[in-house]
Amino acid sequence: MSLTILTRKEVIKDIKDRGGSVAAVLPIHYPRALLRTFDIYPIEVWGPPKVDVSLGGAHLQAYVCSIVHNALSFLKKGGLDVADLVLIPHTCDSLQGLASILMDLIQPKQTIIPLYLPRDKREEDVVFLTEELRSLATRFSDQTGKHPSNEDFLAAIKREERSDLLLAKLYQTRQKTGLGNLDFYRLLRSREYLPAEDFSKLAEETLKTTSEPRPGIPVIISGILPEPMEVLSMIDEMNGQVVADDLACCGRRLYKPGTSTDPFRRMAESILTAPPDPTRGNSIAERIEYLTEMAQNSGAKGIIFYEVKFCEPELFDLPNLRAGLKEKGLASIIIEVDISNPLPRQVATRIGAFLEMLTSHPKDTSCGA
Ligand code: SF4
């Protein structure tokens, strides 16, 4: 099947034509429904890739990741001028640093709003996040003059929950969609900027298709994001099949619905149902258990850790995480990339060798140091 997916630019134009506001949202977790209740449409900014980073480089150390370098450069070049506000979740030190630079030094025309997230999912974490979301709503009320009712919030929440449910269904039936790795992830990642109702329509269309499962060596991809996205077609070409993922932009945001009738608590509950994520302080033991189960359920033979260079939360976990997975019989490889650069040829060689090792020595977990 062929997919027609609107681009970010087309979606933004449509929002602006309808009089909506745009929030540029940095990674990873945030309350989509809360923004939509105020007619603010979240458009996520994961870099973007392949940006001239010289403008951001003047404010950042060379060892800050390319997501932050690119985002700052993009903003300074005017790439975020369409945004009415920039929401920066406190995902990691680098994003917290970006928020400080923007608020204290650069002071762009857009309002910069930080969002603090708890590092666990205990009752006190739910309460903390509930109050954080309530105060975010108060801030939006002050800015927009709108005072939505609980029913307004709950309607937006249910619309997002429906999209999340369809996203989960796409994951469950990915092998039957007939889509290659690249097209499947183009579809999943359109959730980063399509309004929920449009994403739901697209997902429902895709779910109507039933194809034979695609052949290929089954692998999991883990990391922050699959950029440059050519890596996915490269895996296709080398007869690899991504059967599951542990990506911050995709599988780590498979939220379950909340249960509370209080909209703010319900949004907090939902965000905290997300799978284990190193940026939210989940233990390595939890991640080993989660990834082992993911491999068992999907039939994956190995894991490609596809990492953004200098991403501390990801890279700190890898030595112990990989050692634990190796004990469970799961081979893995680490590929590090700078999303501003084209994909190095060496990546193809390494992924090719890893896939070959998985087929010729499926029990060998020593590959890819
Ligand atoms: S790539 Fe890593 S360090 Fe960079 S913003 Fe994302 S989580 Fe933070």
**Residue 136 · residue 148 · CB < 8 Å:** no
- Ligand 1 centroid, distance to 88 Cα (angstroms): 12
Do 50 and 194 sit in the same domain of this protein?
A: no
Please check whether residues 347 and 207 belong to one and the same domain. yes
- Same-domain status, 294 and 225: yes
Write the CA distances from 179 to 145, 152, 193, 269, integer angstroms: 44, 36, 20, 32
Span from the CA of 150 to the centroid of ligand 1 (angstroms): 34
Say how many C-beta atoms besides its own lie within 10 A of residue 78's C-beta: 10
Which residue has a Cα nearest atom 1 of ligand 1? 311
Ligand 1 atom nearest to CA at 279: 7
- pLDDT tops 60 at residue 367: no
Q: Whose CA is nearest to atom 8 of ligand 1?
A: 92
- Among 60, 65, 225, 314, residue to substitute to test ligand 1 (most atoms within 8 Å of Cβ): 65
Q: How far is the CA of 301 from the centre of ligand 1 (A)?
A: 27
Which of 86, 112, 136 terminates a domain? The answer is 136
The confidence band for 369, taking pLDDT boundaries of 50, 70 and 90, is: very low
Structure tokens at 82: 């369409």
pLDDT digits (tens, 9 = 90+) for 3-44: 789 999 999 999 999 999 999 999 999 999 999 999 999 999
Retrieve residue 25's tokens: 């949202």
Question: In the predicted model, what is the mean pLDDT of the chain?
Answer: 95
Full-model pTM: 0.95
Q: Supply the CATH number for residue 299's domain.
A: 3.40.50.11900
Question: Among 278, 276, 230, 269, which Cα is nearest to 251's?
Answer: 276
Q: Using the predicted structure, report yes or no on whether residue 365 has a pLDDT greater than 90.
A: no
Domain finish residue from 106, 136, 166: 136
**Contact assessment for residue 308 and residue 339, using Cβ atoms and an 8 Å cutoff:** yes
pLDDT value at position 366? 54
* Best residue among 101, 227, 307, 312 to mutate for probing ligand 1, ranked by most atoms within 8 Å of CB: 312
Q: Is 95 exposed, middle or buried (0-12, 13-18, 19+ CB in 10 A)?
A: buried
Supply the range of the domain harboring residue 17: 8-136
Query: 280 near 125, Cβ under 8 Å?
Result: no
Ligand 1 atom nearest to CA at 93: 8
Q: Which residues line ligand 1 (CB under 6 A)?
A: 27, 65, 67-68, 91-92, 94-95, 224, 279, 308, 311-314
Helical (H) or strand (E) element with 87: strand 85-89
Cα of 365 from ligand 1 centre, angstroms: 28
User: 59-111, pLDDT tens digit by residue?
Assistant: 999 999 999 999 999 999 999 999 999 999 999 999 999 999 999 999 999 99
Q: How far apart are the CA of 185 and the centre of ligand 1, in A?
A: 20
Q: What is the pLDDT of residue 211?
A: 87
CATH number for 116: 3.40.50.11890
- Do 220 and 350 sit in the same domain of this protein? yes
Report how many domains make up the chain.
Answer: 2
Do 208 and 68 lie in a common domain?
no
Strand order, beta sheet including 111-115: 40-44, 21-25, 85-89, 111-115
99-107: Cβ within 8 A, 24+ apart: 101/59, 101/60, 101/72, 102/72, 102/75, 105/59, 106/59, 106/75, 106/76
* CA of 26, closest atom in ligand 1: 5
User: What's the gap in Å between 92 CA and the centre of ligand 1?
Assistant: 6
User: In which band, very low, low, confident or very high, does the pLDDT at 50 lie, cut at 50, 70 and 90?
Assistant: confident
65 CA from centroid of ligand 1 (Å): 6
